[in-house]
Amino acid sequence: MPEMTYREALKQGLREEMQRDERVFLMGEDIGLNWGGAFKVTKGLAEEFGVERVRDTPISENTIVGAAVGAAITGLRPVAEIMFGDLITLAMDQVCNQAAKMHYMFGGQRSVPMVIRTVFGGGKNIASHHSQSLEAWFMHTPGLKIAVPAFAYDVKGLIKTAIRDPNPVMFFEHKLVYDKKEEVPEEEYLIPFGEAKIRREGADVTVWGTFIMVHKSLEVAEELAKEGISVEVIDPRTLAPLDKKTLIESVKKTGRLVVVSEETKTGAVTAEIAAMVQEEAFDWLDAPVKRVNAPDTPVPFSPPLENFFIPDKERIARAIREIV
């Protein structure tokens, strides 16, 4: 099985779906012949499929998403790329009031089979307009599916599932995982939405995290094993639908939970996870649920300040030690 970067696996998934279904096309700023996308995910696809199916767009996020909604409801399967997740704010009406609600508002007579790809997270020192993690905004919107792949194997299987889904899918990536490598099959496979993956089994505490925090949590688990602390690490893979069963079964086994994400703390996805576990697994908890998040400030540009802002392994380890 070949080893691929996250970027290569994602591109392979896109290519396979474009080869399989001529209705699939890509659209976004600088994704075509001249640039290949801000993070080079689509590099080479315009040469392979042509500029009609890998379409450079104006610098107008509401136009990109609005055009994707129109294309989807008239029979195509667009994959719209928004260069940075922060910029989806310019298309919130098209995402949350149009794409998310159309199936419901039309009584099920119309579906919106579209994917919006974008990237979240800090670590690149590109300041507050290009570094946020806004997953919770979209998890709060009924009608949207949300994928949050953190590993190369998952990103290929999930993008293929997303493109084939009849519903609008928010496909969120993280800047710091594009170069991470993993063995990825060259043959076709799909990963169902709503199935979390236990990345490491443990007995003392469950850690549930997203994106780069899954990688950090696995490193922390390896280090804490030397202290005799057994950490179970869960990667949700999708936030909507959310795999509650895997998480609750893990909490029933370990009796403790730490939830970790790069979002600012107030109103984050971690708050929803903590509340859900308190409601559905309270009798099995031996300690309060701990949340590890960024502070409630804009993302700093200064490298030292950004390093302080983003949750690190030390903060994750501290939260675990406090309840074990």
Pairwise CA distance, residues 16 & 11, whole Å:
9
Percent of the chain clearing pLDDT 70 (strictly above): 100
Mean pLDDT of 150-171: 98
Residue 20's alpha-carbon distances to 8, 87, 144, 147, in angstroms, are 18, 30, 24, 21
pLDDT of 1 reads 86
Reported as a single tens digit per residue, the pLDDT across 66-77 is 999 999 999 999
Q: How far apart are CA 257 and CA 319, in angstroms?
A: 10
Residue 79 pairs with which residues in a beta bridge?
A: 26, 115
Catalytic residue selected from 103, 130, 174, 215: 130
323 SS3 class: helix
**Single pTM value for the model:** 0.97
Span 306-316, average pLDDT: 98
Amino acid at 206: T
Residue 113 neighbours by CB under 8 Å, 6+ apart: 72, 77, 163, 164, 165, 166, 167, 168
Close Cβ partners of 71 (under 8 Å, ≥ 6 residues apart): 25, 78, 114
Question: Which CATH homologous superfamily contains domain 3-183?
Answer: Thiamin diphosphate (ThDP)-binding fold, Pyr/PP domains (3.40.50.970)
Distance between CA 43 and CA 240 in Å, rounded?
29
Q: Clarify whether 130 is annotated catalytic.
A: yes
SS3 321: helix
* Torsions phi, psi for 146 (to 5 deg): -135, 120
> Tens digits of per-residue pLDDT, 140-152?
999 999 999 999 9
Across the chain, mean pLDDT equals 97
The Cα 166–Cα 177 span in angstroms is 28
Domains 3-183 and 197-323 share a fold: yes
CA–CA separation, 43 and 30 (whole Å): 10
Where in the chain are the domains? 3-183, 197-323
Ordered DSSP codes for 211-260: THHHHHHHHHHHHHHTTT--EEEEE-SEEETT-HHHHHHHHHHHS-EEEE
Instruction: Report the distance separating Cα 290 and Cα 260, nearest Å.
Output: 9
Place of tokens 């869960």: 234
DSSP string computed for 37-95: -TTSTTTTHHHHH-TTTEEE--S-HHHHHHHHHHHHHTT-EEEEE-SSGGGGGGGHIII
Q: What is the pLDDT of residues 238-293, one digit of tens each?
A: 999 999 999 999 999 999 999 999 999 999 999 999 999 999 999 999 999 999 99
Residue 78 CA neighbour count, 13 Å, CB half: 26
pLDDT band at 34 (very low <50, low <70, confident <90, very high): confident
Specify the CATH class of 197-323 in words: alpha beta
